[in-house]
A and B are shown apart, each in its own frame.
Chain A
Amino acid sequence: MRAWEIAVAAVALVACLAVGLVVADWLAPQPAIGIVRFDAEIDFDTATPLIDVLERARDDDQIAAVVLEVASPGGLATSSESIFHTLISLRARKPLVVVVDGLAASGGYYMAVAGNRLFAPASSYIGNVGTRSGRPADPSISSDELSSGPYKLEGGSRFDRIRQLQLVADAFVTHVVAQRAQSTVNPLQLTADEVAEARIYLGSEALALGLIDEEGSRADAVDAAAALAGLTGFQTVDLPARYGYRPQPPQPIDVAVAQMVANAPPGAIFMLDSRIPLPANGAVSPVKTQQSNGARQPATTFSSILPQAEGSAP
C-alpha cells in the first residue's frame, strides 16, 4: 500500500469518525436535567418567561427531566394557576422535581405541588393555601357613563366577589389535595378543610403532614430527577440560559409586590403569602399596629421573613 493510499484512508476514517460523532450527538445527545430557578413574586411579568422556559423544556428531547427551584411568596392567582398547569403538562412528558429554597407559600406552593417529587429544607416555609383580595365594592353607577347591565361596572355584587374568592381558593385546595394525595413517597396527611386553613408550616412540619416528599436540597432534587428519568449519565443545564432568557435583577420583594398589585387587573385575586401586607393601589398602605402604638408604619415587610438567597440562577 502506497503512502498516499494510507494517507487517504486515514483521512477518510477520521472524517467518518468526526461525522459519526456529530451525527451521534444529533441523533442521541447526552440527556440533560434542566434546572430553572424561580425566586420572585408571581405575576404576568415573572410567570410568562417561566412558562416559556418550561414549555421549551418539555419539547426539548435532550432535557430528560426538570428541576424547579422555588423561592416565592406567590402572587397573582391566575398566573399561579397558569404555571401550575404548565408544570402539570411538563410532568406528563418528563419527570419534574421541585425543591423549595426557603419559601413556597400560597401561589409558590401551588407550583411546587405539581412536581413528581417535592423537596424542602426543614426551615423553609411551606403552605398558606388560600386566596386574598381587596375588599369588594358595591355596585354603583357612573355619573359620566352608561352601562348595559346592573353589574356591568362592578362585575357583580359584593357577595359575588366574596364567593368567587372562595371558589378560587377551593380550586387551589382541590389541586393541592389531589396532587399531594397521589404522592408515592409521602402522601398528604391532611384533610381538605385542614389544608384550607391556610397555615404556613415549616419544612419539617410539612414533611410530617405530607405537604412535601422529602427533606433535601437542589442536589437531592437533581438525583431524584435523574432517577425518575432513568439516567445514569447526564448533564445539568440552566434552562433560561439555554433558551436565551436573561435573569431579571432581583428587587426588594415589598417593592415587587407593590408593583404587582398596581399592575393587577381590577378585583384581582391573589395567592400571596399572608404575612405580606397587600398594598392598596400599588403603594404600601400605612397600617396602625399595636407595636407602633398607633404611629403609621408598614406592617410586616417581606424581606424580614424571606431568607436571603445566596445566589441566583446559574
Chain B
Amino acid sequence: MKPTTRWLLIALAGLALLAGPALLRIYWLGYTTRSYVPTEQKAAVIAATPVPTITPAAQQAPSAPPQNELKRGPVIVDLAHGTRIARNRFQPLASALAARGLEVIFWTPEFLVSDSINPADYPDQSDVLTQRLVDASALVVVSPFYPYNSREVAVVEKFVADGGRLIVISDPDVEGDLAQDANILAAPFSIVFNEDYLYDTVDNDTNFTHFFQGEFSDRAEGLAGSRIAFYGGRSISGAMIPQARTASTTLSSLRTGQTDLVTVAIGGQVANNSVGRVLAMSDFDVLTEPYVMRYENRELLDFVASFLTGAQRTNTIADFPAFLGKEVALVIDNTQPVGALGLSKAAELQIFLESTGRVFKLAPNSWLDDSEGEPGVDLIYVAGYRAADVMTTLLSDLGVTLVEEVVTTTVPVAPVAPLPPPVDAPLPAPPTLPDDATLLLPEPPVFTTPLPPPEMPDPLAPPELTATSEPDATFTPEAPLPPTAPGTPENTVTVDVRTLWLLQPPTTPVAPETMTPEDESAAADAGAAPTVTPAAPPAVAPTPAGEPVLYLVREDGIRLVADETQFFIQRPYHGDMRVLAVLGNSEQAINAGLTRLLTRNFYDCINQENLVICPVMPGGEPSLPAPSATPAVTPTAAPVAPADAAPGEPVSALPILLVDDDSGAQEGEESEAASYLFALGGAGYTVDYWSTREQGFPDDATLTSYAWVIWSDASYTASGISGESLRLINNYINQGGHLTISSRMPFYGVANEPSSTIKDLVLDDDIPALVAGLPSGPIVLTGSLPAVPPLESAPEPSTGARIAMRRGPTSGSPTAPVLVIYSDENFAEPQGALLMLFGMSVAWLPSDIGQQLILNMADVMLAE
C-alpha cells in the first residue's frame, strides 16, 4: 500500500474516532433526542373586579335627645376579666344606648393584670362587681378571658334577679375566647355556648365565617326579613328561647350535619328569677364598626340596645335613689341643731341626687304632714327616733314603739361574734323580716331575779317565725344569769337575746349544763363540739346602774338598742309622696346612716325592699367593709373562748387597740381588722378600732395606754410596716408594749428570701397556748393568695423568739415561720415587751381557725 493511501486511511480513522462518539450519542443513543411534548396549559382565569368605591348615602338623622326625666342606671361593660376587646369597639353600642338615655361605663380591673396570671389565681372581684352593679341597668360581658368565679356569678345572678339585664357574648374570633369560660356565667341562666364556629361557603359576606341569619323569632321577630350577618360566631344551645337562627346553608365546625343553629337567644330560669332578662349572642363584631353598617346589621344593634334598655330594677333601699322621683326634698329633724357634719352630709346628698338628674331642695318638717307637702316632691327624712315617732307614723306603722328603761344590771347574753355554725349544722338563716316589716317572733320572756334562769332558744335552730302569744318554752340561756346586785331597786332584765339575732346570728353552742335533751340532740346532730363552752361575755357594754336606755320595741316584742341601730325606711306616704327615712338615735348615727346611703353600704344590714336595719358601729361611721368572703371553708367547731373567762364576766378588762393601717389601702380592699374586731369584740374584749385613713396614726401616748396593740394591714396590697408606723411601733415596744403585727411585710424578722405563696400551715409547739384548739394537721389555705416574704427561719436566740406556726410543705419556703413571738426577757433591762409577728392575714385562714387563733393571741398577749 502506498504510504499516501495508508496515511489517508489513518486520517479517516482519526476522523471517525473524532466524530464517532458524538454521532453515536446522537443517532444511536439518542442523547439529544427529547420526546417530551408539553401539554397545552389552559389558562386559568383569575381576573377579579376590584372593590368599588362605596356610593355615599346620607346617614339617618340622629334621634332626638332622650326624654328621660331621671338618669337611668348605666350599662356596665365588663373589661375586668381580661376581655381582649378595645373600648372603642363598643362605640356603636354606646351610641345606641345613649340615644335611649343609657350611659356605658367600662368596668376595668383595679389591679395590674399580668399576662402570666393563671385563671385559678385571678383575683375575686365580687365585691367590686357588687358595687358596680348597685345602680346599673345592665351588664355586658363579652368573651371573658378569665372566667367568672362562683362568687361573681352569684352577684350577677342577684343582679339579674333584681331586674337587671345581662348580655353574655361568646365570640369565637375574640382572642382567648372559650365557650367553656363564657358558660360559667351563662349556664346559671340555662344558656350554653357550644365550642364550635359557624360557616357558610354558599352565602356569606366575603368570608366563609361571615354567615347570615335565616330566621328571627320571639322578641326578635321584628327583624324578620332583615339580612343580618355574623362575623365569626358559634352556636348556642340550652333551655332558652331562640331569637335568631342561621340560614340553612350555614354549618357548624363541630355539630356536623345540623343547620338552623341558634345564634341569639334569651335565657333565664324561674329558680333564680331571671327569665327573659339574659340575652346570649355568639358574635360581637356585628355590633361594631364597620360590620354594623353592612346590610341591615344595624337593626340587630337596635334590638340589643332595646333589650338593655328594658331593665327594670327593683328599687330597694340599696338601689338609692331609684325609689325617689324627680324632685327630692330633704327634711331634717328640727328638734336638734344641725352641725357642720350634718351640713356636709346634706351637701353630699345634694351633689349625689343632682348627679342623677334630680332636683334637690330643703323642706320644713311640716311637709311630712299631708296637707303641707308639695305635690310631686318626694322626701328624704333624717331624724332621731324620738322626733320621728312624734312627727310621723313611720315607726308606729312598723309596729315599733320607743321604750326607755333603766337598766340595773348587766345580763350576759349570747356572744355576738359572727361565728359560722358548726360543720354540717344547718345554717340558721338570719331572721328575715317580712315585707310588711312585722316580725312574728313570740313575746319575749321578761325575766326577773331571783327567777331561775329562763331557757333561751337553741342557737342551732332557726328562730321561730310563727306568730304566737305564748312565751317560748324552749328558751335556754347560754350562760346562767348572774344574780342581780343586792339592794337594786330595779330588777327587770331588759335585754332580749333575740334582739341580737337581728344584728348577728348567735352560733355558739349551748352550754351543756343548760342544754335540754332536745338541744343536746340537735347539737350532736349538727356535729357541734361536745366541749363545754364557757359563758360568753356580754355583747352589750355594761350599762351603769340607773342610766336610761332607749329601745325600739316592736309589737312582737323584739327590742333593738336604739343607740346601736339605724333604720332606713322607704315607703309611700300620704298618697303619692314617697319618703325615705334615715333614722338613728344620735347625730353620729344619723350621719353614719347618710354615709351608708350615699355609699350604698348595706352589707352588714338586714335588707328588705322597703326596710333596712343596720348596726351602728363604734364611732358611728360604717367604715369597716364587709367581712371577707374569701375563705369559704366550713368551720369545724366553734372557737373556744379563753379558759380563764369566768361565766358572765368580761373576758378581759384590759383595753385593746386595733390599728387598721388602711391609709394605703386601695378602694374596695377588705380589711383584715374586721376579723380581729369581730372575734375579739364577740368574745367580750374591749377593742378600740383605729383607722389610719380616717384618724391618722395614733400617737405614742395613745399606744401606751393600751395593754395590747394589734397593727393590722395584711389584707391590703400595699401592706408593710415602714415610716411613721415603724417609728411608733419601735417606741411602743421599747416601752414594754405588747404588740401584734399582722402584715405581709412586718419589717421585723423578715428573711432575705423572695416572696412566695403560703398554701398551708403547720403548728409548732413552742407556745402551746397560742395554738390551742387549732387543728394539728396542716391547715390548708384556699383562694387566690398573694406571695408574701417569708419570716426568718432561725431568729437570733437573744430575742427570745418562739415560733408557733410555720409554712406547710406545699407552701413556698416551707417551714419558714409564720407566727413568731419575740420578747425582751434576755435583754439587759427587760421591759416586758412582747412582739408577735404574723406574716400573713388572719382573714386568709378558715374563719373558725382564724377566730380561734385571734382568741389565743389575746390569751397570750394579755396574760402578763
Contacts and interface: CB of A to CB of B under 8 A. Distances in A.
Interface in B29-68: 29-36, 38-39, 41-42, 44-46, 48, 51
A162 B22 contact: no
B22 A27 contact: yes
Interface in A136-184: 138, 156-160, 162-163, 165-167, 170-171, 174-175, 177-178, 182, 184
Contacts of A232: 30
Contact of B22 (A9, A20, A196): A20
A116 B116 CA distance: 52
Interface string B197-211: 000010000110010
Contacts of A293: 119
Given A160-B51, A163-B206, A228 B20 contact: no
A93 interface: yes
Interface in A62-113: 64-65, 88, 91-95
A175 B26 contact: no
Interface string A4-38: 00000100110111011101110111110000000
Interface stretch (B8-16, B255-263, B270-278, B482-490): B8-16
Nearest to B26: A28
A230 B36 contact: yes
B475 to A, nearest CB: 53
Q: Which of B6, B36, B48 is packed against the most chain A CB atoms within 10 Å? A: B36
Interface in B252-302: 289-290, 294
Contacts of A193: 201
Given A24-B24, A295-B118, A91 B38 contact: yes
A93 B38 contact: yes
A6 to B, nearest CB: 10
B222 to A, nearest CB: 27
A171 B35 CA distance: 32
Nearest to A130: B208
B178 interface: yes
Nearest to A233: B29
B8 to A, nearest CB: 11
Interface string A233-275: 1000000000000000000000000000000000000000000
A232 B31 CA distance: 9
Given A28-B32, A294-B147, A175 B290 contact: no
Contact of A64 (B20, B34, B46): B34
A278 to B, nearest CB: 12
Interface in B449-475: none
A229 B38 contact: no
Interface residues of B, number: 56
Contacts of B39: 116, 182, 184
Contacts of B181: 294
B96 to A, nearest CB: 19
Contacts of A229: 34-36
B285 to A, nearest CB: 10
B34 A165 contact: no
A286 interface: yes
Nearest to A196: B201
Contact of B36 (A9, A65, A138, A295): A65
Contacts of A13: 10, 13-14, 17
B25 interface: yes
Given A12-B10, A171-B46, A229-B35, A20 B21 contact: yes
A156 B50 CA distance: 11
Contacts of A9: 7, 10
A1 interface: yes
Contact of B18 (A16, A95, A159): A16
B119 A1 contact: no
Contacts, number: 141
A296 B26 contact: no
B268 to A, nearest CB: 27
A78 B214 CA distance: 37
Contacts of B145: 288, 294
Contacts of A135: 173
B36 A95 contact: yes
Nearest to A21: B21
Q: Which of B34, B146, B207, B210 is packed against the most chain A CB atoms within 10 Å? A: B34
Interface string B151-175: 0000000000000000000000101
Q: Which of A88, A93, A160, A167 is packed against the most chain B CB atoms within 10 Å? A: A167
A230 B33 contact: yes
B46 A175 contact: yes
Interface size classification for chain A: 35 or more
B290 A157 contact: yes
A296 B119 contact: no
B290 A286 contact: no
Interface in A49-70: 64-65
Interface string B179-198: 01100000000000001000
Nearest to B232: A135
Q: Which of A13, A88, A138, A233 is packed against the most chain B CB atoms within 10 Å? A: A13
Nearest to B45: A174
A193 B26 CA distance: 50
A286 B115 contact: yes
B176 interface: yes
A118 to B, nearest CB: 14
A290 interface: yes
Nearest to B199: A197
B19 interface: yes
B56 to A, nearest CB: 12
B48 A170 contact: yes
Contacts of B175: 287-288
Contacts of A156: 51
A159 B292 CA distance: 12
A163 B205 CA distance: 9
A149 to B, nearest CB: 11
B17 A20 contact: yes
A64 B35 CA distance: 10
Given A27-B22, A159-B206, A166-B206, A294 B118 contact: yes
A312 to B, nearest CB: 29
A2 to B, nearest CB: 10
Contacts of B24: 24
Nearest to A225: B36
A253 B115 CA distance: 25
Contact of A296 (B19, B42, B115): B115
Contacts of B31: 28-31, 233
Contacts of B206: 159, 162-163, 166
A15 B176 CA distance: 79
Q: Which of A1, A159, A171 is packed against the most chain B CB atoms within 10 Å? A: A159
Contact of B42 (A21, A91, A182): A182
B41 A174 contact: no
B44 A174 contact: yes
A197 B36 contact: no
A16 B36 contact: no
Interface in B332-348: none
Nearest to A229: B36
B14 A16 contact: yes
Nearest to A64: B34
A274 to B, nearest CB: 12
23 contacts: A13-B17, A16-B14, A16-B16, A19-B18, A20-B17, A20-B22, A23-B21, A28-B32, A30-B31, A31-B31, A157-B290, A162-B207, A162-B210, A167-B48, A171-B46, A174-B44, A174-B45, A177-B44, A230-B36, A232-B30, A288-B178, A294-B119, A294-B178
Per CB-CB distance, the 7 closest pairs between chain A and chain B, nearest first, are A230-B35, A24-B21, A24-B22, A16-B14, A28-B25, A294-B119, A171-B46
Given A13-B14, A294-B118, 7 more contacts: A23-B19, A65-B36, A156-B51, A159-B206, A165-B207, A287-B176, A288-B178
Interface of A: 1, 9, 12-13, 15-17, 19-21, 23-25, 27-31, 64-65, 88, 91-95, 116, 135, 138, 156-160, 162-163, 165-167, 170-171, 174-175, 177-178, 182, 184, 193, 196-197, 228-230, 232-233, 286-288, 290, 293-296
